[in-house]
Chains A and B, each alone.
Chain A
């Protein structure tokens, strides 16, 4: 039963990482355009909107 002492925190911690990742993805706007994202992965090369500009 001693292993529970570290197994449970590990389980909770891993779940917590999942939750944190979800919160981060939500905050950074990754769910704002689900349809667009589905199309964008098919594009060969995204138009460089930020890098090539002077």
Chain B
């Protein structure tokens, strides 16, 4: 099992943050009688072995009563005792146990119950409709096989009694949605559905009362049954994506250590931090609210806040914004804003203002319904009037009109879209992309321009050593050994790339905003920025795309290391594929122009703009869409969130800021950027299949409607016609997998061709 080879140490190193007992207690909920339940998100569980490993490990803890892994939602729920042997238990041990067996575990806010209820209601309705449809069909088959007179009437009456509660119970989803649409003066697919169901039931009941020959109860209920299946699948698809996205680590902190005047510290939730509070922030923590540094010096990683890829050093008096990661030293900051007024809140206001094409977008099914339902209803009315005026038999006219409504009822149309989208979402899920809803797929198929953020999207957001300038390999080894002692991303990249050598130093200290100082014998080594290492006055900061670290011995430079933000794997290929598909590409970044240009040049991106504020990113998207383009925005940071909301459709990596993930329509869980062209391809394939399905459904109507208008449609014909058209549409939707398998063999050819074309 390939997924179970995770290295425990690697996970511990990657996760970086650990949870305090207070934080875990805050996230647990009480079950009464001294027991508490803790729900954890563990995105790494993939198979049966993962379930067993985690359940065994956690159950071994003495205070844990029960541990159960849910593989579908990638969660672990633990029931544990608050007290054991008279001591309060430390629930953080559960998290460290899970990490020690090699899985990352995060706390998450359990807000999911609402939607799960809807899923259960839908499943219940499917069960009820299925039960009713099966039993009515049983009775109908007897009628079709020749039961007549009193027997037929009795069968019709029993059918009517089964159908009535089933329609009210299972049909309420459609009735409510249809009523909502009508009240706002619109129509959607549910309007013709509701009308056909209600009318056909009413006419069938009337027929039954008058000992008629034909009743449509079977068609009415099985129609509901089919449509509910489509609706339930659609809901489960969205639910799955939502659960996976909610399960990701929260990037904004949920609490902070507040320092009181007397020096005592206590842990409070972020919402309870008041303006003027002194907050202690250790190295490796994120800043919870906007504030001013009142004590300490450190370097901050702003990549998720502004897109700036190099750490920025701060000292007392500097303003810091929430979301930034504290890298090297401890800081005490004074809160200047409440959590709800911090940077994040401003971004949310921008986002609300930016809501672009998405709010105005109408689902393809609704657009089809807007054309379809007037035509169908007019046809039914015309046949009613026609038969009534020509034959004078208004009862017969009513029967024909209902037959028209039932035959044309958009069973196939109602399934045409959701089934394709569920299959497409499943395909994307296997590639590591979550789709939040079906309309995202429809919009994705229309895009012609892709805008990328740079830091964290095209690049990974962590530096990589690209050049070493040194005379002596021994000095490099010394520098790497020294770099091991710092959490600064540049030091860590240096330590990783030079391999591990055991060299001990006598005394090491880290100067925030400078670097590391170490003494070995009577030699003084320094590792840090040029000014610090060579003990000069700091020069003007260069606008170079590379960041530099200098290693010095007693103040003389011995080695220089140049770093660059590491490119996300597959970035170059992805851009080439996008160009091959005829899409325009651009970079919109908050980072310095020179860095943006260098990345753009390397990847061959058409257009690159740097130094953009969140507002300007939105303007950029808006400008493109006013030019008639449909923009697909891929970004991760807090600063990208408004642009993600403004774009026609948007995508964020799983490592994105919380708000970025919330704003995006799609979230991808892989490191590889190849998912961007893949997602577009799948969306285009599914759009094509949806169009085919519509054509099939309409073609079927063109054939069946004349039969109904001629008054030749019996309930048997209707039942057969309806099921066949539904089966054809579903089968066509399943072709998506086949299409993908065919095109999977092509991309390699296409991308190499594109590369050659670019080189030439």
Contacts and interface: CB of A to CB of B under 8 A. Distances in A.
Asked if A and B are interacting partners, one says yes
B48 interface: yes
Interface in A1-54: 1, 4, 8, 11-12, 15-16, 18-19, 22-23, 26, 31-36, 39-40, 42-43, 47-50, 53
Given A1-B151, A49-B55, A33 B131 contact: no
Interface stretch (B120-128, B338-346, B644-652, B685-693): B120-128
B55 A47 contact: yes
A6 to B, nearest CB: 14
B51 A39 contact: yes
B84 to A, nearest CB: 11
A32 B127 contact: no
A26 B131 contact: no
7 contacts: A11-B135, A15-B134, A18-B131, A39-B51, A47-B59, A49-B55, A49-B66
A1 B378 CA distance: 44
Interface of B: 47-48, 51-52, 55-56, 59, 65-73, 120, 123-124, 127-128, 131, 134-135, 138-139, 151, 154, 158, 162
Contact of B48 (A26, A40, A47): A40
B71 A33 contact: yes
B72 A43 contact: no
Contacts of A35: 71-72
B131 A19 contact: yes
B123 A31 contact: yes
Given A4-B151, A8-B158, A15-B135, A33 B70 contact: yes
Contact of A36 (B51, B124, B158): B51
Contacts of B123: 26, 31
A38 to B, nearest CB: 8
A43 B52 contact: yes
Contacts of A33: 70-73
Nearest to B54: A47
A12 B18 CA distance: 58
A36 B67 contact: no
Contacts of B67: 49
B135 A53 contact: no
A19 B127 contact: yes
Contacts of A4: 151, 154
Contacts of A12: 135, 162
Given A26-B120, A42-B48, A49-B66, A36 B55 contact: no
B153 to A, nearest CB: 12
A10 to B, nearest CB: 12
B264 to A, nearest CB: 38
Q: Give 10 closest A-B pairs by Cβ, nearest first.
A: A39-B48, A36-B71, A19-B131, A35-B71, A33-B70, A22-B127, A33-B72, A47-B55, A47-B56, A49-B66
B68 A39 contact: no
A43 B56 contact: no
B71 A39 contact: yes
A26 B124 contact: yes
Nearest to A19: B131
B52 A47 contact: yes
B55 A16 contact: no
Given A11-B138, A49-B55, A50-B66, 7 more contacts: A19-B127, A23-B127, A35-B72, A36-B71, A42-B48, A47-B52, A50-B65
A48 B55 CA distance: 9
B119 to A, nearest CB: 9
B127 A36 contact: no
A19 B120 contact: no
A40 B134 CA distance: 32
B80 to A, nearest CB: 11
A26 B128 CA distance: 12
Nearest to B79: A49
B68 A49 contact: yes
A53 B52 contact: no
A3 to B, nearest CB: 12
Contacts of A39: 47-48, 51, 71
Nearest to B75: A33
Contacts of A26: 120, 123-124, 127
Contact of A40 (B51, B65, B139): B51
A4 B52 CA distance: 53
Contacts of A47: 52, 55-56, 59
A32 B65 CA distance: 21
B48 to A, nearest CB: 3
A4 B150 CA distance: 12
A43 B151 contact: no
A52 to B, nearest CB: 9
Contacts of B68: 49
B138 to A, nearest CB: 6
A33 B402 CA distance: 43
B555 to A, nearest CB: 61
Contacts of B66: 49-50
A39 B65 CA distance: 23
B69 A36 contact: yes
A41 to B, nearest CB: 9
A39 B69 CA distance: 11
Nearest to A27: B120
A19 B51 CA distance: 31
Q: Most chain-B Cβ atoms within 10 A of its Cβ — which of A15, A47, A53? A: A47
Contacts of A18: 131
B159 to A, nearest CB: 11
A18 B67 CA distance: 32
Contacts of A43: 48, 51-52
A16 to B, nearest CB: 7
Contacts of B127: 19, 22-23, 26
A12 B47 CA distance: 41
Contacts of B55: 47, 49
Given A15-B135, A32-B72, A39-B71, A53 B65 contact: yes
A29 to B, nearest CB: 10
Given A47-B55, A47-B56, A32 B138 contact: no
Given A40-B48, A42-B48, A47-B56, A19 B128 contact: yes
Contacts of A23: 124, 127
A26 to B, nearest CB: 6
Nearest to A22: B127
A48 B135 CA distance: 43
Contacts of B73: 33
Contacts of A22: 127
A26 B123 CA distance: 8
A44 to B, nearest CB: 9
A30 to B, nearest CB: 11
Nearest to B55: A47
Contacts of A34: 72
A49 B71 contact: no
A22 B151 CA distance: 31
A39 to B, nearest CB: 3
Contacts of A49: 55, 59, 65-68
Contacts of A19: 127-128, 131
